[in-house]
Structure 1
Amino acid sequence: MRIRRIIMGFSQKTEPNLDHAIAGAASGFITRFLCQPLDVIKIRFQLQVEPISKCHISKYKSVSQAFLLILREEGISALWKGHIPAQLLSITYGTAQFYSYNVFIKMMQKLPKIEQWNHSMHFIAGTGAGSIAIIISFPFDTVRTRLVAQSSNHQVYNGVLHSCSSILRQESPKVFFSGLLPTLLQNAPHTGLQFAFYKFFTDCYKRYTSGTDTNFYNSMLSGSAAGFITKTIVYPFDLARKRLQIQGFQHGRKGFGKFFQCNGLLDCLKMTVKEEGIQGLFKGLVPTQIKATTTSALHFTVYEQVLLLLRIL
Structure 2
Amino acid sequence: MSRSADHRLKDEGSKTQVVLAGATAGLIARFVIAPLDVVKIRLQLQTHPGRTIIQPHPPSTQPPLYKGTLQTLVRIFREEGLTALWKGNIPAEALYITYSAVQFTTYRLTTLGLQSLFSTHPLSPPTESFVAGATAGAVSTTVTYPLDLLRTRFAAQGTQKVYPSLWYGIRSIATNEGPAGFFRGLSAGIIQIVPYMGLFFSVYETLRPYSATLTLPFGSGDAVAGVAASVFAKTAVFPLDLVRKRLQVQGPTRRQYVVGGLAYRGVGGSMKAIVRREGWRGLYRGLTVSLVKAAPASAVTMWTYERALAFFISLDQAKEQEQEATSP
Give the structure-2-normalised TM-score: 0.85
What amino acid sits opposite 1:126 in the alignment? G
Confirm or deny that 1:171 pairs with 2:183. Answer: no
2:299 to 297, 300, 309: 297
Could you say which residue in structure 2 is the equivalent of 1:108? 114
SS in 1 for 2:124: helix
Q: Which residue of 2 aligns with 1:205?
A: 211
Aligned-residue offset at 1:122: 0.7
- Classify 1:165/1:114 alpha carbon distance in 2 versus 1 (closer, same or farther; 3 Å): farther
Deviations 1:109-145 (A, max 9, x none): 2222454511100110111111111111000011111
User: Deviation per CA, 1:197-254, whole angstroms, max 9, x where unpaired?
Assistant: 1101112234x55x9xxx832111101101111000000000000000111223422x
Pairing partner for 1:230 from 233, 240, 245: 233
Deviations along 1:279-311, one digit per CA (max 9) or x if unpaired, are 000000000001111111111111000011111
Structure 2: distance between partners of 1:298 and 1:56: 39
The residue type equivalent to 2:227 in the other structure is: S
Which of 21, 45, 51 is equivalent to 1:47?
Answer: 45
Q: Which amino acid aligns with 2:181?
A: V
Q: Is the CA contact (8 Å cut-off) linking 1:42 and 1:288 kept in structure 2?
A: yes
Distance in structure 2 (CA, Å) of the matches to 1:199 and 1:145: 30
Residue deviations 1:69-101, cap 9 Å, x none?
A: 000000000000000000111011001000111
Which residue pairs with 1:129 in the alignment? 136
Q: Distance in 2 between matches of 1:278 and 1:42?
A: 18
User: What is the distance in 2 between the residues matched to 1:299 and 1:157?
Assistant: 30
Distance between the aligned counterparts of 2:152 and 2:256, measured in 1? 12
Paired with 2:306 and 2:268, the residues of 1 have a C-alpha distance of 38
Structure 2: segments with no counterpart, 5+ residues: 1-12, 51-60, 316-328
> 1:252 maps to what in 2?
256
Partner of 1:3: none
Gaps of 5+ in 1: 1-14
Q: Which amino acid aligns with 2:266?
A: G
CA contact (8 A) 1:85 1:140 kept: yes
Point out the more displaced range, 137-146 or 106-115: 106-115
Q: In the aligned structure 2, how far is the partner of 1:159 from the partner of 1:143?
A: 11
1:243 paired residue number: 246
Quick one: distance in 2 between partners of 1:115 and 1:28?
Answer: 31
Provide the rounded CA distance (Å) in 1 between the counterparts of 2:188 and 2:148.
13
The 1:162/1:225 distance shift into structure 2, 3 A limit, reads same
The AA in structure 2 aligned to 1:177 is F
**How many percent identity over aligned positions?**
36
Corresponding residue for 2:68? 62
Q: CA distance change for structure 1 residues 57 and 218 in 2, over 3 Å: closer, same or farther?
A: same
Structure-2 separation of matches of 1:29 and 1:155 = 26
Matches within 5 A, 1:1-313: 16-51=14-49, 57-110=63-116, 111-152=118-159, 154-206=160-212, 216-248=219-251, 249-253=253-257, 255-256=258-259, 258-313=260-315
Query: 1:7 is matched with which residue?
Result: none
2:135 alignment partner AA: G
Contact 2:99 2:144 in 1 (8 A): yes
Q: Is the 8 A contact 1:127 1:188 kept in 2?
A: yes
Contact 2:211 2:222 in 1 (8 A): no
Distance in 2 between residues matched to 1:96 and 1:114, nearest whole Å: 28
Q: Cα gap change, 1:114/1:40 in structure 2, threshold over 3 Å: closer, same or farther?
A: farther
Cα–Cα, structure 1 residues 31 and 114, in superposed 2: closer, same or farther, change >3 Å?
farther
The question of whether the paired residues in 2 share the 8 Å contact of 1:96 and 1:129 is answered with: yes
- Give the alignment's Cα RMSD to 1 decimal: 1.9
**TM-score, length-normalised on structure 1?**
0.88
Counterpart code for 1:137: T
CA distance in 1, matches of 2:185, 2:254: 17
* Alpha-carbon distance in 2 for matches of 1:114, 1:16: 26
Is the Cα–Cα contact under 8 Å of residues 49 and 65 in structure 2 kept in the other structure? no
Kept in 2: contact 1:216–1:305 (CA 8 A): no
**Aligned positions, number:** 290
Change (3 A) 1:197 1:113: farther
**Alignment CA distance shift 1:101-1:64 (3 Å):** same
Distance 1:116 1:251, change over 3 A: closer
Aligned partner of 1:239: which letter? L
Change (3 A) 1:305 1:79: same
